[in-house]
Structure 1
Amino acid sequence: MPEPTSRRLPIAVDAMGGDHAPDEVVAGAVSAVRDHGLSVVLVGTPNRIHPLLARHDATGEIPIVRSEEVLAMDEGALASLRRPRSSIAVACHLVRRGDAGAVVSAGSTGGVVATGRLRLRGLHGVLRPAIAVVLPTRPGRTVLLDAGANADAKPEMLVQFAHLGVAYAQAAFAVERPRVGLLTIGEEAVKGNKLVRRAHELLAAAPIDFTGNVEGDDVLSGKVDVIVTDGFTGNVVLKTIEGAVRYALAELRESIDESALARFGAALQRRRLRELYQRMDPETHGGAVLLGLNGTVVIAHGRSRAKGIASACLLAQALVDERILERITATPRAHHRLW
């Protein structure tokens, strides 16, 4: 059972990471505390955070941990080595020493991944951490990983990603035995490049519910609970979906505004349209999760506003409450030959 709220470790929020930091990050942290009862600590530059907390009448309500440096959005993995006192590095350090339960950041994905690997280290036996994202499929949800942490992958890594995704689906969506699919260009086992064909062989022999290959047109079908791929392909898929969703929603809004009759019809379908928007809105899902480290790290979208930051904090707390790390570490112990 999840621990009582009063005993929870706080979520360490990188106040300086994101396109709209620190303003929207602080607003999201305040929402997480007031609207959802979470415990949060803001990591960043105090003289920039204090006025924002005062604006929300939250001075003294949320603790601040000082960081000396900021990892800019246009800085990648190497910057994590040059800025050991950045806000994301300090946030990771809080988790590592047991002062925080998880990290939330909307900063540079490359910087967050590199800093997480450096500060939190990978779980024993895990070759590389993977970024897991939740896709708005029906009737349930589908976890896609890797979504960008590893552009080049080995077949054995894809098997590990499958185990990470299974643990995530079990913890986040209470799916007892998640179905796993391998993303490639055809349903037949022989389809795909060398990486995919070898990964298919290993996944078929793994102690998971591997259903076989899935193609691009099945990514949003809900055919499986977990989709495994390399980080290059996964990131392209994710960005393509995001772009398509933005285009579709923009076209829908334009169509509704074209005539009074269309607006009347939209008013009758207001609830369904709101549900559709919420399913497609990335800020509703809280962001991606970096799995495979000695700590829980949630990467919010770089353009996240307050709602997205609050959702990311909720996701981080839910994963901590459901003991995602314990679920993951139990997998290599039970199936050590795969790690």
Structure 2
Amino acid sequence: MNAGIIGIGKYVPEKVMTNFDFEKILDTSDEWIRSRTGIEQRRYAEGEETSDLAFKAAQNALENAGITADQLGLIIVATVTPDRGFPSVACQIQERLGASGCGAMDISAACSGFIYGTTIAKQFIETNSYDYILVVGVEKLTKITDWEDRNTAVLFGDGACAAIISKVSEGRGILSFELGADGTGGKNLYLNDERKIYMNGREVFKFAVRQMGESAINVLEKAGLTKDDVDYLVPHQANIRIMESARERLGLPEEKMSKTIQNYGNTSAASIGISIVDDLAAGKIKDDDIIVLVGFGGGLTWGALAIKWGK
């Protein structure tokens, strides 16, 4: 039996920062931001740390899955913005959830983190090592944002997603995956000496447009599927133009691609899971749909999953 997602949740902070708010502090405009990125607003955490966001999303995922924290065998948190170097965010939320004794670790794959974490969890579930694994994608990007760089400051938001990975019914679950990295591209997107995000936008854009489409096609081929089999695409919500390039590569109509970037901006490791929660609530993802998750991030990293949705 395949591993799959049996429960999922999200948490986003209350504070909303709109494009019009940015007009007051940077040489930019709502029209400029929307036309180039698709972003209209994003959420900022005030008085909350990364672990707080992760904890709240995890609670929602556990409730959605109908299990309790003491049933977890492992907690994996994907983040590049932990509260501190150690202990890990995973250990912090293990304590708060009451999941005593289970394994707990953070991983760092930037915006590809949720896919990396879910793929790791899949291996442990399918080898019968654990019954239930919590995977969290969480970022508080506002604490590493360069507020004087108008090209990057407008992009990022804070948020968290969480999923419970376990065995699902025959034919459903994760059908295939792809993980990849190109360390030679690390110089194009990194945390600089001032502990702020640096991005060579042109180079990252070129990489993402190429890699998102390729990875989506690759996981379909690995699963023995074609573009015609895809019911829904959930790309990392980084930039609407990059997302559209992946959609066009799969030949999908607009309504078959998740689009939440306008509400949350780029939440890095949290974006794919947040989108799934919103799309499930809107009835856009249904049981037995073939969905493709695909992302890219600093490293440079990339990852994709082909999933037949449902328990």
Q: Which has the higher contact order (CA 8 A, sep 6+)?
A: 2
> Which one has a larger percent strand, Structure 1 or Structure 2?
2
